Amino acid sequence: MDKILEGLVSSNHSVPVKKGVVKKVVEAAEKEVTEEQCQALYTLTARLILLGEDAFQKQVGFQVLEAYARYHRTEFEHFFSKDFVLGLLQQGYGQLDRKDPVIMDYIHCCLRLLISCPSVLEIFSVIQVEVLRMVCERSEPALCARLSTMLSDFVQCIPRDKSAILFCQQLVRTISYFNCTASQERELKEYVRQVTKVSTLLQNIWKTEPATLLPSLQEVFAIISSTDPSFEPSIALASLVQYIPLQMITVLIKSLTSDQNVKDASMTKALCRMIDWLSWPLAQHVDTWVIALLKGLAAVQKFTILIDVTLLKIELVFNRLWYPIVRQGALVVLSHMLLSFQHSLEAFHLVVPHVVHLVQSLRTDGLSTSNAFLLQFTELIHCMMYQYSGFPDLYDHIIEAIKDLPKPGEEKIKLILNQSAWTSQSNSFASGLLRHAGKSETGKTGLVNLGNTCYMNSIIQTLFMATDFRRHVLSLHLNGANIVMKKLQLLFAFLAHTQRAAYAPRNFFEASRPPWFNAGSQQDCSEYLRFLLDRLHEEEKTLQVLESAKLKVVSPDATASKHPGDQTSTEGGEESPLTPVVTKPGNDGRTLIERMFGGKLSTGIRCMQCNSVSKKEEPFTDLSLAFCPSATSHGGPPTEGPSEEPKGVCQGSVNGGSEVLDQGSVKPSSVQFVPQTNEPPLSVPDLVNYFLAPEILDEENAYFCEKCSSLQRAERTMKVVAAPEYLILTLLRFSYDAKCHIRRKILDNVTIPPLMRLPVHAPSPPRKSFSSTSSPLQVDSPESSENLAKKLKPSQKDEEEEERIDREEEMNREGEMPVQSVPYVLSSVVMHSGISSESGHYYSYGHNINGTDGTQHPANYFALEEDLENGQAEPSLSVCSALSTPPKQAEARLSGGQEARDWLLFNDSRVTFTSFQSVQNITNRFPKDTAYVLIYRKQELTGQNINGGLTANGMKLNAEPPLQKELLDAITKDNTLYLQEQELNARTQALQAPSSSCSFRPNGSDDNDPPGSCGPSGGGGGGGGFNTISRLVF
């Protein structure tokens, strides 16, 4: 039968006749056939399939083979043995070469027919070895595609374990040799199809054998980073990118960019070839990986590579925009390369000559996606022309070509430029890669900017410099509670004891960020401070309630029997989740925030018709100080609307202090007090006095008197009745411009006194006379003395005099409030650099306290005591005032350059020594840099206790508390890790030193430049200029 079939297919008979005979032969397979006839037919079919002269012969071979193998399986097993397969793969078949794809098709067909036979297992083991050899021989794409199809159907043929890793690596290497010689579209499509089949096989192996993925990717990088001039890897490697999990981007890029064995030349080659992959059709995520590598290199400050690659490949990337199938990914990469190349216009000017032609092509190509793409492209071009303005001869044709398309606003352009700069820290690859220098000579630790987090960094540093607050936070036993206070304690511990030059407060940022604050966006530091203090306060209140309930359940009478000064603990020796080392006698259950920053304001409204007085006390944590209208009319931008906050509203209260008095019955009004305009500039005491000055409520702002049951003219007064240990003052520098509908910044310079006294109206029991032996700081109010003198005069008919007497009588009935002049010393200042509330940069100054007890040196009190001795303090007790400069004996203590080290400048990761003179003169030198938030610390005179009984182990916190074991372990672990990183960096630098040809660093060596460098609107404090557009880092 084999002879008949062989003669038939090679005869000249018509095709229908041949098909009829073949059909008879196939039907005969169901009948009994001898083994010799089967073997002869199997041999014939193999010859027809492998050596057939035309497609008909090959088709006949497959039909007959399938028929007889189905009905005569045992005979087929004997024919298609492992030796026969091995011969095909190693020697070929007759004149047919072993690398011919037809052999792989034949084996694939036979495996399908033999799959249920036991002998197939031996064949699988043979194929596992042979396919590994085949890929090592760098087979052609056609053979590899057929091989991949077979292995996808018969995964048992894929090498296992270590051989699987080697197989994947060699298959990757083989793909790198896939050269495309196609000149026709049909041939090109076939080439892409073949490559896709091979890459799909690798994807399936990576899924089933995850251990093969990383070695495969290492092989990819070894190939594309090769500097061998005789070898150029195929662009077909791009087909693998879409199968690499995106979750691995961060890990892989960090590994590559920090590997000391990867030379700059190799990294440059790898990046260039990855950019070439943008030309591969249908490949996904190539742009994502290219940008990830660009950001990773920027994070480790390998700017030489970035510059070389950008200038070398920018035109090639631009040319990819002409091809719709790859243009979207190419635009993403082009945008990143151009926007990040902010130190020079060279890259942009390389593509400028091609812009107009591309715009014209996009307008006329008729594709539905071209319009949207054109809008994205023109936005990029507008940004670049804004960045590098001043070339009308180059840009005129471009502007003409895109004049009818939307143009982004200036703020959006600045934002885009800011987010894309190499020195921006908003990318995720800066983590752990920034190579900070050692600690500065200050010994203080900076804070890494996590992406527009200068507002948080400046607040954290000011709170850390509040010595008493810091020490009490570090002394708390939080017992693992997952609260913000716990994270603040850990952050303070790191700032105090880490060996790093700058610490990255990521965990604290995520925990303390207000929900409405968008990560990566500029925010208001004052708003953040209020939210943080309120959050800490509410957390402690909640824990106190829970602990109180727990104690009542354990022993209802236990707490009542204890002395207020005794230590308290729960039954079984457990501590409260939020307790200091010991209890704090006399704190009346107040939280740490209340004890440190809490004060009280008393607001009184007197009806000028019936003289009835309404009073209300409100707690506060900061005072928001507005600029009086007459003061802001010069120096700063004109303001045509009301100030940012009504003067009668207390900002940032711990509990209820931010509410408006009488729920809307009081409206903003004219103010009687006006600071002295003949002594410019304004000072902080001027703003405090303006805040506390009486206000007349009349006309539209008339007060509804409940006694009169009508709107009446009234006088509102505000008095501080409880002074906080730390006085926080916020200068309301942003006012609403009704014409332009924007918030403008008031740039007025405000003098900041180092020493200040605040009038505090301490309450006393009604109708009790004051002792003549009282402290010289506690005397009757001058206003009260004046009213008493008026009362002793003969009666007059003048209405105003009668009104004053009636007012005095009302006050006498309620009891007098003596005035205490409480001294404060400046602790910290947060500066805002910029001209608007939506942009700029925050940095802070902190008073460097060297004493072990954390208190100010007695020299700070010389001025106050001298004023008291001269009798100068008494007439001004009712107003806030600055104390005179320290006398000569205090200045003598500061000799020898000590004064220059009394203050520290905290600018994100940078901490430097400065002087108070620099703090006072910063706005004169850099008009956009103005004081925004100030913290003053209350001072104690002899015999007074500033902490109000805050103790630890029965003693005042006169020194830094010892670190708890949990904090100490965390710091020790991180410091050990830091030393290991330093050792690795040293080795890396030593290895790379010979190959380093350029030490270029755009915009300086630190991502966080001096004051004013953190935004397009930043000022110039500390070295930044007024027009440093390229410095766009928060």
pLDDT for 360: 92
Q: Give the tokens for residue 606.
A: 């007197």
Q: Give the tokens for residue 819.
A: 């005035």
pTM recorded for the entire structure: 0.49
3-class state of residue 376 by DSSP: helix
Task: Please report the DSSP string for 792-818 in residue order.
Answer: HSPP---HHHHHHHHHHHHHHHH----
What residues contact residue 296 under an 8 Å CB cut-off, 6+ apart?
253, 254, 256, 257, 429, 433
| Mean pLDDT, the chain cut into blocks of 10 residues (1034 residues total) | 68 77 82 86 88 84 87 88 90 89 91 86 91 90 93 92 92 91 84 92 92 91 90 90 86 83 88 89 85 86 85 92 90 91 82 93 87 92 81 81 89 80 49 49 86 90 92 84 86 86 90 87 89 91 82 55 40 44 53 90 88 88 82 41 40 35 35 45 87 87 86 88 91 79 80 89 52 35 35 41 46 60 91 80 83 44 47 56 55 46 86 87 82 89 47 51 80 76 61 44 36 39 32 27
455, burial (CB in 10 Å: exposed 0-12, middle 13-18, buried 19+): buried
**Taking the C-alpha atoms of 562, 564, 567 and 573 in order, what is their torsion angle to the nearest 10 degrees?**
40
pLDDT for 985: 66
3-class state of residue 787 by DSSP: helix
pLDDT for 884: 60
How far is the C-alpha of 465 from the C-alpha of 346, rounded, in Å? 46
Would you say 618 and 656 are in contact if contact means Cβ atoms under 8 Å apart?
yes
| Cis? peptide before 681, omega within 30° of 0 | yes
Which residue in the block uniquely carries the two structure tokens 């892409």? 192
Neighbouring-strand partners of residue 606: 613, 715
Q: Give the tokens for residue 114.
A: 């033999």
For the annotated catalytic residues, the residue numbers are 454, 841
Name the phi and psi angles at 508, rounded to 5.
-70, -35
How far is the C-alpha of 737 from the C-alpha of 867, rounded, in Å? 43
How far is the C-alpha of 329 from the C-alpha of 908, rounded, in Å? 35
Would you say 554 and 571 are in contact if contact means Cβ atoms under 8 Å apart?
yes
Name the phi and psi angles at 104, rounded to 5.
-65, -35
How far apart, in Å, are the Cα atoms of 385 and each of 353, 501, 556, 1029? 13, 38, 75, 13
What residues contact residue 452 under an 8 Å CB cut-off, 6+ apart?
426, 520, 521, 522, 523, 1034
pLDDT for 359: 94
**Taking the C-alpha atoms of 424, 426, 430 and 432 in order, what is their torsion angle to the nearest 10 degrees?**
130
What residues contact residue 572 under an 8 Å CB cut-off, 6+ apart?
none
For residue 59, the number of C-alpha atoms closer than 13 Å in the C-beta half-sphere is 8
Would you say 1018 and 840 are in contact if contact means Cβ atoms under 8 Å apart?
yes
Q: Which of 969, 973, 959, 937 is nearest to 581 (CA)?
A: 959
How far is the C-alpha of 102 from the C-alpha of 113, rounded, in Å? 17
Q: Cα angle at 148 between 168 and 329, to 5 degrees? A: 75
896, burial (CB in 10 Å: exposed 0-12, middle 13-18, buried 19+): exposed
| DSSP state at residue 483 | S
3-class state of residue 627 by DSSP: coil
How far is the C-alpha of 943 from the C-alpha of 946, rounded, in Å? 10
Would you say 703 and 711 are in contact if contact means Cβ atoms under 8 Å apart?
yes
Q: Which of 858, 777, 847 is nearest to 818 (CA)?
A: 777
Q: Which of 351, 250, 344 is nearest to 291 (CA)?
A: 250
3-class state of residue 378 by DSSP: helix
Radius of gyration of the chain (CA): 41
Q: How far is CA 352 from the centre of its chain?
A: 33
Q: Give the tokens for residue 152.
A: 């996808």
What residues contact residue 17 under an 8 Å CB cut-off, 6+ apart?
none
Helices H, strands E: what count in the chain? 34, 24
pLDDT for 171: 93
How far apart, in Å, are the Cα atoms of 353 and each of 349, 379, 647? 8, 17, 58
pLDDT for 646: 43
| DSSP state at residue 477 | B
| Strand extents, DSSP E, 834-961 | 841-847, 881-882, 903-907, 910-914, 929-938, 951-952, 955-956
Question: What is the 3 state secondary structure string of 289-345?
Answer: HHHHHHHHHHHCCCHHHHHHHHHHHHHHHHHHHHCCCCHHHHHHHHHHHHHHCCCCC
How far apart, in Å, are the Cα atoms of 294 and each of 380, 383, 384, 431? 18, 20, 19, 15
Q: Give the tokens for residue 306.
A: 């970035």
How far is the C-alpha of 616 from the C-alpha of 614, rounded, in Å? 7
